[in-house]
Amino acid sequence: MSSSRCVRKLEVVSPVPADIDVANSVEPFHISEIAKDLNLSSNHYDLYGKYKAKVFSFLLLSFLFLLLLMRMPMSLDFDVLLSVLDELQGSKDGYYVVVGGITPTPLGEGKSTTTVGLCQALGAFLDKKVVTCLRQPSQGPTFGIKGGAAGGGYSQVIPMDEFNLHLTGDIHAITAANNLLAAAIDTRFFHESSQSDKALFNRLCPPNKEGKRKFSDIMFRRLKKLGITKTEPEDLTPEEVKKFARLDIDPNSITWRRVMDVNDRFLRKITVGQGPEEKGMVRETGFDISVASEIMAVLALTTSLADMRERLGKMVIGNSKAGDPITADDLGVGGALTVLMKDAINPTLMQTLEGTPVLVHAGPFANIAHGNSSIVADKIALKLVGPGGFVVTEAGFGADIGTEKFMNIKCRYSGLTPQCAVIVATIRALKMHGGGPEVVAGKPLDHAYLNENVSLVEAGCVNLARHIANTKAYGVNVVVAVNKFSTDTDAEMNAVRNASLAAGAFDAVICSHHAHGGKGAVDLGIAVQKACENVTEPLKFLYPLDIGIKEKIEAIAKSYGAAGVEYSEQAEKQIDMYSRQGFSGLPICMAKTQYSFSHNASAKGAPSGFILPIRDVRASIGAGFIYPLVGTMSTMPGLPTRPCFYEIDLDTATGKVIGLS
C-alpha cells in the first residue's frame, strides 16, 4: 500500500450500509493534505471550508491589478501569480483513461462508482499517482428520482452531501449568467419595439458630461462583425446607426431559455411579458434545468479564460428577422457573463473515501450536451500526476453517447489523447438486453435478474460487443469492468468475460469496489495500467470536421447500427440555415435516448437496419457543436410521486445530512 499520508484504510461491513452512512462514517482529510500529495502549495488554491478547494487554473489579470493597486511587493510572493497550468506547462502528462458503459437500465450500472473504485485501487493499493475527474451533479436528480452522483458504497467522493448539493457554487454561477442573458434578450426586444433607431443609438451611446459619445469595448465586437471600422459614434452614417443599434430579433427564433437547478415540470412551458408595463409583449418560452444550459457546456469545453470569454460571447440566442445569428456579444453581455463565471472556471478539489484526490468540474447534460467533465480539470490533473500517473474521467450514459462525444467533441477541443477506455457492464443490464423483463426504477426486480440465467446474459452480450467494437475504433485499448452484484454467479460473470475478449477487449475484469472499495478494483487497476502501457494506435475520430452536417450525422448513426437517416422538414431547414451561417464545420452532439442504440428506448440489445429519425437540429455555437434531436428530449425533468427528498433531512443534534442517496 502507498506510503502517502492521505491513504485511509477502510473498515468495510456487510451488508453495505446506505451511501450517506458510509460517507459519514469517516472523517475526511483536510483538503490541504490532499493538495500536498499533489505537490500543490497554498498559493495554488482557495479553501472552501475544510474539505474543498478551488484550484487556480488560470491567472486572472484583475488579481494582478489588485496587487499593483495595493502596492504589494510582488517579488516576495511571485508564485502566487502562477496558475497550476502555467507552472506545469512543460511537464509531461500521465495516462488518460475514460470510463463509459454499456447501454444502461434506468437504475444505472455504476459508472461513477467504478470510476471512483478504480482510482482508489490505483492510488491506495497500487501506489500510483491518480486523480479522478468527475462532473458536478445537478440538485434536480439529487432531490428527484435518481439521487446523487458521488459514487456508492465504499467507492465514493466525500463529503458526499457537499458534493451533491451546493459544492462551490458553480451551478449557481451558471444559473445567474444564463438568466442574465435571458433578461438581456427580452429587454432588448422590448426597447427596440418602442424606440426609433436614433433613440436606441442615443441610449446605447449616451453623451458624457462633456457631451462626448463613446463606444464601450464590447461594442467594437459588434462593429467588427458588421464590417464597420469607425471608432467614434458621431462618425456613423444613419444606415450604420441602424445596423449597429437595431438587432431586430425574430421572437420566433429565440432558443435561449431561463434555467434553475430543480426538477420542475410546470416550468417546461411558460409565458413571459404579461405585466401591464410590458405593453402586451407576451412570448411563450420555458425553463430548462441549469445543467442543460449552453453555459455549462461552454465551461466543460473551454481551454482557457480567454477561450471561455470568446465562447460565451459567441453563443447564439436566435436570429434577426433577416436570418442572421444574434450572439451574446451583440447584446453587449458577453463580458458580464464572463465576470459571473470567472471563479467557476477553477475546478474543485475533493477526495475519495480512501483519500485519493478528485477534481470536480462542470456537469453538462449527457443528452443534448456532451456529458463529460471539463477539459480544464483533465489538463490540470494530467500534469499533476505526471508520467506513470493516471487521470480517470467518466463519460455520461452508455458509450454510444458519452464515450462517442468524449472522443469526437472533447478530445478534438482539448488535443488530449486517451490510452484506455473502460466499459462498465452489469449482469442485470446484459440480461435486460438479452430479452429479460423490463427494468423499472422504483419497482422490485423480476426474478430473472436475481437468479442465474447464463443464456440470457450471453444473448445480451451483443450490446457489450458493439460498444467494444465502436470504442476500439478510436484507437484505444478497451477494458471491460463487470460491476459485481451479490446475486451474480461465477458462470454469468465468466460468460461476460469470454464474450468481452471475443469481441476484442484488451481485458475483462470482475470488480467488487462497491462492497470493498479500492481493494475490490485492484485487478481492474492492473488491467488498465497494462492497457495504457500497450496502446499502439493513434487517436482516430469517427468523422472529419470538413464534411457536411448530414455526413457527420450519418457516420454516427451508422455506429449505432442504423441503415440510414430520415430528416424532418424542420431538420432540413435548420441544417440549411446553419450551413449558410458558416457553422457546418462544428462537431455533432447527438441528442437521443440513452436506453438504446436506436431512437426507440425499448429496442434492446444491438438493433440494426433501422432508420434514425432526426426531428430537429439545433446549435450550441459558443460551446462548439451542432445537436440533432432524435425524438423528444426533455431538458427540464419532473419529480416522481415519491421523490428522493422524502428521505433527506438534517440531524439537528450533529448537523449531518441523513437520507441522501
- Lowest-pLDDT choice from 33-42, 358-367, 552-561, 640-649: 640-649
Domain of residue 574: give its range.
Answer: 549-629
* 439 and 482 part of one domain: yes
Handedness of CA 11, 17, 20, 25 (dihedral sign): negative
In a domain, 540, yes or no: no
- pLDDT tens-digit map of 589-633: 999 999 999 999 999 999 999 999 999 999 999 999 999 999 877
Domain check: are 125 and 96 in the same one?
yes
**Burial (CB count <10 Å: 0-12, 13-18, 19+), residue 43:** middle
The pLDDT score that the predictor gives to residue 5 is 63
In this structure, are 100 and 80 located in the same domain? yes
Looking at 7-11, 216-220, 406-410, which range is the least confident one?
A: 7-11
Are residue 249 and residue 391 in the same domain, yes or no? no
Together in a domain, 107 and 230 = no
Largest pairwise CA distance in the chain: 86
Interval 383-412: pLDDT, tens: 999 999 999 999 988 999 999 999 999 999
Q: Is residue 473 part of a domain?
A: yes
Residue pair 135/297 in contact (Cβ under 8 Å)? The answer is no
My answer on whether 225 and 241 are in the same domain is yes
Nearest to 571 by CA among 585, 556, 591, 555: 591
Q: What is the percent of the chain with per-residue pLDDT over 90, rounded to a whole number?
A: 79
**Domain end marker among 337, 368, 400:** 337
Tell me, what's the pLDDT at 430? 98
My answer on whether 423 and 479 are in the same domain is: yes
Summarised one tens digit per residue, pLDDT across range 319-345 is 999 999 999 999 999 999 999 999 999
Cα separation values, 348 from 8, 48, 231, 351, 359, Å: 21, 9, 42, 10, 5
Q: How many domains is the chain built from?
A: 3
Contacts of 484 (CB under 8 A, 6+ apart): 493, 510, 511, 512, 514
The CATH code of the domain that includes 232 is: 3.30.1510.10
The whole-angstrom separation of Cα 333 and Cα 180 is 8
Q: Which H or E run includes 61?
A: helix 61-69
The verdict on residue 281 lying in a domain is yes
The pLDDT-based confidence of 645 (bands split at 50, 70, 90) is confident
Helix residue ranges per DSSP H, 375-521: 375-385, 402-405, 411-414, 427-433, 454-472, 490-502, 513-516
Asked whether the predicted pLDDT for residue 64 surpasses 70, the reply is no
Inside any domain, residue 5: no
Task: Tell me: do 123 and 216 sit in the same domain.
Answer: no
Question: From CA 52, how far away is CA 50, in angstroms rounded?
Answer: 6
Which single residue is written with the C-alpha cell 462633456? 210
pLDDT of residue 59: 57
- Give the pLDDT band of residue 68 (cuts 50, 70, 90): very low
544 in a structural domain: no
Beta strands (DSSP E) in 526-610 are: 564-567
Q: What is the CATH number of the domain that holds 594?
A: 3.10.410.10
Q: For residue 155, list its beta bridge partners.
A: 152
- How far is Cα 464 from Cα 650, in angstroms, rounded to an integer? 41
Q: Say how many Å lie between the first and final Cα of the chain, rounded.
A: 30
Average pLDDT over residues 514-533: 98
Does a structural domain hold residue 643? no
Give 7's strand partners: none
Q: pLDDT class for 62, splitting at 50, 70, 90?
A: very low
**Closest by CA position to 463, among listed 344, 260, 608:** 608
Domain boundary among 287, 310, 337: 337
Span of 80-89, 204-213, 330-339 with lowest mean pLDDT: 80-89
In the block, cell 451546493 appears at: 166
pLDDT at 77: 41
In this structure, the answer to whether residues 209 and 304 fall within a common structural domain is yes
Same domain, 163 and 256: no
Full-prediction pTM beyond 0.85? yes
Strand ranges inside 62-104, DSSP E? 95-101
Please check whether residue 304 lies inside any domain of the structure: yes
Q: Using CA of residue 135, residue 532, residue 376, residue 357, what is the dihedral sign?
A: positive
Distance CA 52, CA 479 (A): 32
Q: Based on the domain organization, do 226 and 297 belong to the same domain?
A: yes
Return the pLDDT at 280: 77
Backbone angles phi, psi at 338, to 5 degrees: -65, -40
Average pLDDT for the chain? 92
The neighbour count for residue 436, using CB atoms within 10 Å, is 22
Query: Which of 275, 308, 337 is the last residue in one of the domains?
Result: 337
Model confidence at 51, pLDDT cuts 50, 70, 90, reads very high
CA distances from 228 to 192, 243, 408 (A): 21, 10, 37
Contacts of 173 (CB under 8 A, 6+ apart): 340, 341, 343, 344
Examine the domain organization and report whether 227 and 304 are in the same domain.
yes
CATH number for the domain including 497?
3.40.50.300
Average pLDDT over residues 434-459: 93
For residue 656, is it within any domain?
A: no
Q: What is the mean pLDDT of residues 255-271?
A: 93
Q: What does the pLDDT read at residue 173? A: 97
Handedness of CA 124, 125, 129, 130 (dihedral sign): negative
Q: What is the pLDDT of residues 86-141, one digit of tens each?
A: 777 888 999 999 999 999 998 889 999 999 999 999 999 999 999 999 999 888 78
Residues 6+ apart with CB under 8 A from 621: 314, 315, 316, 325, 327, 583, 586
Handedness of CA 40, 44, 50, 51 (dihedral sign): negative
d(CA 485, CA 113): 13
CA dihedral 645, 646, 651, 656 (to 10 degrees): -30
